[in-house]
Structure 1
Amino acid sequence: MKSDKEELIRLADKEEKFYDVLSYEDDKFKIFSKCVNLNKEVLEIFNNVRSDRNILEDFKNLFSGEKVNGSEEKSVGHHKYRSTSFKKIIDLASKIKRKLKQRNFKNIVIIGTGGSIEGNRVLYDSFYGNSKKEFNFRFISGSDKKEFEEATESLNKEETCFFVVSKSFKTAEVLFNLDLAKKWVPETHMKSFWGITSSKEDAISNDLLSDQIFSFPDDIGGRYSIWSEVCLPLLIELDSSFVDFFKGGGLVDELVLKEKRFLKFLIKLSIIDLWNSNFLGKDNKVILSYSWKLRNIPNYIQQLEMESLGKPPNSESIFEKTGQTLYGGYGPKAQHSIFQLLNQGTSQTCADLIYISESDNLNLAQVNSSFNLFTDNENEKDDILSVNSNIPSTIFEIKTLDPFSLGMLLTIFEHKVFISSRFLKINPFDQFGVEKGKKKTMELLESFDSS
């Protein structure tokens, strides 16, 4: 009798055929997926590997405070903000806003990197243009001082404050830009700095004022920190109207535990990725947003998935490959670059396409033609315009972009990643590869400084 892995290999090797694998719709989303050779037989074998019941228990453990981050012996707490904890952040943002206005600050510069800044970028892109724009925002995240200079060159120093966001307050890029900022502002203006961290003492040791430091718990990873105090700078602008963002994420948490149909939908999203990478050889995934407002969401998802699933394989798992390589960007721009590779190149890729129902006809035509070219086996193969049509694809249609739907969308991706980690038997909440890179950077920096 063949093992589950052998059966999956056999089914993957059959003549290539696209199946309508997934179709889900509610009042916020319509999600549809086509995948090669992923049929009911494949889904049944995945259920043997880890059943719906097992995965439901996994979520119960996550939400109840079990130490699901085993390598660091921690529970995971970011989901708590999606239930009731968000109220304290909304109130805190209102208090900070009053202080900023009293001091006549008009510019907010956010210093951070990775998860400490990507969440704020997504919120800024999605909703900042809808507000009255009481503050101007700048983002600084890298280690080239030209970025700092360009971000601040047109700003009035007396009207500018900095939010320094770092879980450890030891990240090299953050401290580098903090040092530049302290030299840029008037000497007496440490009141221009606000810290958001899990390590208050380290923030104080870098000259930040104790009463201008806001802490979040150590059990919140950077790539999940959009739900925490990390998003305070944007909430200052977006205000209490943004409570629906947390409620949208909270609804997804609720549905996972209470609605079998919804849990099955999330499990299928995970299976699609694992099937594509482990059995179809699709090691790459392109994420394309056809909404200008969501142009940076591929970067957010890239960090979420690659940092969470980019781990060594577990020898006890049937899966030899863990996370995929993710890339992408703004869909209409990709039409003139990435699509040549996808349609006629040799890259082994699958795709996620994201768009908003309320789009111009050209936008709708682009996203739907792309999906059809990627997945239509009937496309002609005999002339110079022939295309591969071998790219398993999922369309995420957002009916209206609002805080509630964005909260739902990000939590859907987050939970899909968690489910994949359960199949793979890996920890999605640590990041020792990142830590190794940071350590090596600091060692070299110290040697450069001493030479």
Structure 2
Amino acid sequence: MSDTDTLWQAIESAAPTRLTDLFDAEPDRLERLTVEEAGLYFDFSKTHLDARLIDRFVELAEAQDLAGKREALFAGEAVNASEGRAAEHMAQRGQGAPDSVALANALHMRMRALIDAIEAGALGEIRHILHLGIGGSALGPDFVIDALGREDPAYDVAVVSNVDGVALEGPFHLFDPEYTLVVIASKSFTTAETMLNAESTVQWLRNAGIADPYGQMVALTAEPDKAVDFGIDETRVLPFPETVGGRYSLWSSIGFPIALALGWEAFEQLLEGAAAMDRHFRLADWRDNAPVIAAFTDLYYTQARGAETRAVFPYDERLRLLAPYLQQLEMESNGKASDRATAAIVWGGVGTDAQHAVFQLLHQGTHLVPAEFVAVAEAGDHRDPAHHEQLLVNCFAQGSALMTGRASDDADRNFPGDRPSSTILIETLDPASLGALLAFYEHRTFANAALLGINPFDQFGVELGKDIARAIADDEDALTLDPSTRALIDRAL
């Protein structure tokens, strides 16, 4: 048996102590299991991690060479072994191989020059931004703009990812084609859903009498030649390196709509906040390292306690798209074949809405579901303090109730408690703190992968269904399908 197997066995065999008893047994528990960094306060004290488990996880991190894997990531080495590539999203925020950081800076300056030109009227008057992408090319920009762009937006922004034509109907109805800038985001510039939406948008512009639809388009891609072949002028093609993965790409030119809609200063602050979390992840001791402690928590519940899901509940309407963003980041990165259980299924809801929908199961159901609360301490200048106070009171009360429970002789009113949760409290929701939060989740995902011994940077699992879809669309005679699928095709197509 290897050292790693022995450590996993020790972690899995450790008898859990009730959460309330852990606070009695470990007087310094709150101090040891909270971390404050980059405007974020992380509280892991309501999880079952105790001093013994943390010691075993630290030993596991050493056995799995987490430090060496982390340094390889920061150095720009080929950590994506299956594709022979580096994973250089951190170079976009100034962390990594010097040549890669220099290239990222140059591409950012190219993006800023285009934004300056647009703001100066080079493309005419722009009132609306229609961003077309899918996966990481849409989820990141959509989340950040929705979170930070609610007050006095400079443009109307719509992010369309679904190939369902209904998704385009909204912006087509609301936007004036003459004043609409279309942004096509696709790493390969061949993504079927995005390119079909792009072609439909070209037709929409033409139908509205726009003589040169491509003159109102910007491309964000790692394949600039394909964007030029599509019809977009080279000066409006913003490249990013092949070594930046889609779900890690909002820091690159994929962030163009963020920088345009929120302003260049906000985009820079987003990068700076992420860079602050990069430094924390790289330099902090494992026991004081927020992404690593979060990964220890994730792995304890998936490996030792058999939890198949993790629920994420932002108690702030501005963070309503956090769960969909994390679903791709974590489940596409770490939902891989492994000798052990891999990523938990991420799901969630927003604030008090979720309380009235799913918390019954969390409190009294038979499933073990670690919960994660994300809240913002300061209401902000334009928010009603009474509403915000009620929001925070509910957030903190749910974490307490999950842990402590309430005994009753009436089974219907008995709350067993001992249900784990963690809380992330953001001091103020601004570009820097949001950048730090997103980088925290990236590093947490990487730490999980490193400790499990899998590659978080490829995504071959999404390809099989797409291959079959292409074959069906092309009506390939040699395609062999099961009777159920064949019957559905015959009925609907």
* TM-score under structure 1 length normalisation: 0.92
Once the two structures are TM-superposed, the CA of residue 364 in structure 1 deviates from its matched residue by 0.9
Counterparts of 1:286-297 in structure 2, within 5 Å, are 286-297=311-322
From the superposition, tell whether residues 442 and 363 of structure 1 become closer, same or farther in structure 2 (CA, over 3 Å).
Answer: same
Once the two structures are TM-superposed, the CA of residue 414 in structure 1 deviates from its matched residue by 0.7
Which whole-Å CA distance do the structure 2 matches of 1:154 and 1:74 have between them? 42
Match of 1:342 in 2: 362
* Residue 380 in structure 1 maps to residue 400 in structure 2: no
Counterparts of 1:188-207 in structure 2, within 5 Å, are 188-207=212-231
Which whole-Å CA distance do the structure 2 matches of 1:7 and 1:239 have between them? 51
Is the Cα contact below 8 Å between 1:139 and 1:151 reproduced in 2?
Answer: no
Q: Deviations over 1:136-171 (max 9, x none)?
A: 111111021111012210221111121000111121
Which whole-Å CA distance do the structure 2 matches of 1:199 and 1:344 have between them? 51
Match of 1:224 in 2: 248
Once the two structures are TM-superposed, the CA of residue 28 in structure 1 deviates from its matched residue by 1.0
Which whole-Å CA distance do the structure 1 matches of 2:36 and 2:204 have between them? 51
Match of 2:145 in 1: 124
Once the two structures are TM-superposed, the CA of residue 16 in structure 1 deviates from its matched residue by 4.2
Match of 1:4 in 2: 7
Match of 1:265 in 2: 290
* Residue 151 in structure 1 maps to residue 171 in structure 2: yes
Secondary structure (helix, strand or coil) at the match of 2:282 reads helix
Which whole-Å CA distance do the structure 2 matches of 1:448 and 1:295 have between them? 42
Once the two structures are TM-superposed, the CA of residue 336 in structure 1 deviates from its matched residue by 1.1
Match of 1:115 among 122, 126, 136: 136
Is the Cα contact below 8 Å between 1:90 and 1:240 reproduced in 2?
Answer: no
Match of 1:236 in 2: 260
Once the two structures are TM-superposed, the CA of residue 54 in structure 1 deviates from its matched residue by 2.8
Which whole-Å CA distance do the structure 1 matches of 2:184 and 2:116 have between them? 16
Which of 249-258 and 363-372 deviates more?
Answer: 249-258
Which whole-Å CA distance do the structure 2 matches of 1:199 and 1:226 have between them? 17
Match of 1:389 among 417, 430, 436: 417
Match of 1:135 among 139, 146, 155: 155
RMSD: 2.4
Which whole-Å CA distance do the structure 1 matches of 2:109 and 2:419 have between them? 42
Which whole-Å CA distance do the structure 1 matches of 2:245 and 2:409 have between them? 50
Which whole-Å CA distance do the structure 1 matches of 2:126 and 2:58 have between them? 55
* Residue 184 in structure 1 maps to residue 208 in structure 2: no
Which whole-Å CA distance do the structure 1 matches of 2:92 and 2:246 have between them? 14
Is the Cα contact below 8 Å between 1:86 and 1:246 reproduced in 2?
Answer: no
Which whole-Å CA distance do the structure 1 matches of 2:178 and 2:232 have between them? 18
Give the counterpart letter for 2:366 in structure 1.
Answer: T
Q: Deviations over 1:73-101 (max 9, x none)?
A: 10111101111635752662353343363
* TM-score under structure 2 length normalisation: 0.84
Is the Cα contact below 8 Å between 1:35 and 1:392 reproduced in 2?
Answer: yes
Instruction: Quote the sequence identity (%).
Output: 26
Once the two structures are TM-superposed, the CA of residue 70 in structure 1 deviates from its matched residue by 0.4
Which whole-Å CA distance do the structure 1 matches of 2:105 and 2:328 have between them? 23
Give the counterpart letter for 1:379 in structure 2.
Answer: R
Match of 2:68 in 1: 57
* Residue 331 in structure 1 maps to residue 359 in structure 2: no
Aligned length: 443
Is the Cα contact below 8 Å between 1:16 and 1:36 reproduced in 2?
Answer: no
Give the counterpart letter for 2:234 in structure 1.
Answer: S
* Residue 428 in structure 1 maps to residue 456 in structure 2: yes
Which whole-Å CA distance do the structure 1 matches of 2:106 and 2:240 have between them? 14
From the superposition, tell whether residues 266 and 189 of structure 1 become closer, same or farther in structure 2 (CA, over 3 Å).
Answer: closer
From the superposition, tell whether residues 303 and 8 of structure 1 become closer, same or farther in structure 2 (CA, over 3 Å).
Answer: same
Match of 1:89 in 2: 108
Give the counterpart letter for 2:245 in structure 1.
Answer: G
Counterparts of 1:14-93 in structure 2, within 5 Å, are 14=16, 16-17=18-19, 19=22, 20=29, 22-26=33-37, 28-34=39-45, 37-51=48-62, 54-83=65-94, 85=104, 88-89=107-108, 92-93=111-112
From the superposition, tell whether residues 382 and 90 of structure 1 become closer, same or farther in structure 2 (CA, over 3 Å).
Answer: farther
In the alignment, structure 1 segments of 5+ residues that lack a partner are none
Is the Cα contact below 8 Å between 1:256 and 1:262 reproduced in 2?
Answer: no
Once the two structures are TM-superposed, the CA of residue 17 in structure 1 deviates from its matched residue by 4.1
Is the Cα contact below 8 Å between 2:92 and 2:252 reproduced in 1?
Answer: yes
Which whole-Å CA distance do the structure 1 matches of 2:291 and 2:215 have between them? 46
From the superposition, tell whether residues 389 and 332 of structure 1 become closer, same or farther in structure 2 (CA, over 3 Å).
Answer: same
Once the two structures are TM-superposed, the CA of residue 362 in structure 1 deviates from its matched residue by 0.6
From the superposition, tell whether residues 292 and 91 of structure 1 become closer, same or farther in structure 2 (CA, over 3 Å).
Answer: farther
Which whole-Å CA distance do the structure 2 matches of 1:232 and 1:276 have between them? 38
Q: Deviations over 1:119-142 (max 9, x none)?
A: 111221122124x43221111110
From the superposition, tell whether residues 400 and 17 of structure 1 become closer, same or farther in structure 2 (CA, over 3 Å).
Answer: closer
Once the two structures are TM-superposed, the CA of residue 223 in structure 1 deviates from its matched residue by 0.6
Which whole-Å CA distance do the structure 2 matches of 1:27 and 1:178 have between them? 38
Match of 2:236 in 1: 212
From the superposition, tell whether residues 94 and 332 of structure 1 become closer, same or farther in structure 2 (CA, over 3 Å).
Answer: farther
Once the two structures are TM-superposed, the CA of residue 55 in structure 1 deviates from its matched residue by 2.0
Give the counterpart letter for 1:310 in structure 2.
Answer: G
Secondary structure (helix, strand or coil) at the match of 1:184 reads helix
Secondary structure (helix, strand or coil) at the match of 1:164 reads strand
